[in-house]
Amino acid sequence: MTAIITATELAEDLAGQAPPVLLDVRWQLSTAKAAGVPAFDGRAEYAAGHLPGAVFVDLDRELASAAGEHGRHPLPDLAEFGAAMRRAGVSSGRPVVVYDGGQGWAAARAWWLLRWTGHPDVRVLDGGLPSWRGELSTEPVTPAEGDFEPAPAAAGLLDADAAAALARSGVLLDARAGERYRGEVEPIDPVGGHIPGAVSAPTTENVGPDGRFLPAADLRDRFKALGVSGDAPVGVYCGSGVSGAHEVLALAVAGVPAALYVGSWSEWSADPARPVAVGPDPQ
């Protein structure tokens, strides 16, 4: 099973005998600090037009718990996450397709959470909503209750200590923009820089101009150039475990399993006792 699906493939699946559950996870990171700048409202975007049958999922409230010492988007309470997924119609025996407004980060967060908690068949719409050529709906959707029960995997999740260890013993990729990795700017967190030993790997370089993933072979070449050889474990972090999930998805497309440090830089940098590296080099 592939981790992504094209709009053409999705249209075919929706017309088939076992259509997937559709989750709309439109979300946008905002670093705007100017007064009067409205926050992005994914629910309003959903109401204005969504894939027919899709259910809106709120990343900040249903795919994360409240911001705090473990970062801006820490893991959600798993009982609450399971209840939210069941309300959205998610069942273990039915495929799920997730999409967002095109960036892919929020959809990847939902994909990662569902996969990590045991759902066997989840894919992301490659290119998001802009790739869809069919009609959109403004009708509200109330699906039948699903039966999904989260069962977290033993692997695939890193905490701060495990991320630091992986940077020394394996490959830890930093999915943020290069200038944040180097410590030149930091628009959100207390300090710029990166986890010592981490390799800069902006997730934006995993996609083409249309927002769709590069071919799997190209992704394999990119990650190989970054030190991903298949001989050592791979982990990813970002600012708060959202764009990092997109990099884990890109690695999956390339055929490389990877773990996610969900707390990411927003957790790491909040503790002044943790070391911070700056500049273009990992160390």
CA distance 25 to 54: 10
Give the Cα separation of 82 and 277 in Å (integer): 38
Annotation marks residue 48 as catalytic: no
Distance between CA atoms of residues 128 and 121, nearest Å? 18
Q: 133: how many CB neighbours lie within 10 A of its CB? A: 8
Q: In this structure, what are the phi and psi dihedrals at residue 207, rounded to the nearest 5 degrees?
A: -125, 160
Whole-number Å distance between alpha carbons of 107 and 97: 9
CA distances from 53 to 50, 56, 89, 91, 180 (A): 8, 10, 11, 15, 39
Annotated catalytic residue within 3, 167, 238, 262 = 238
> Annotated active-site positions, please?
238
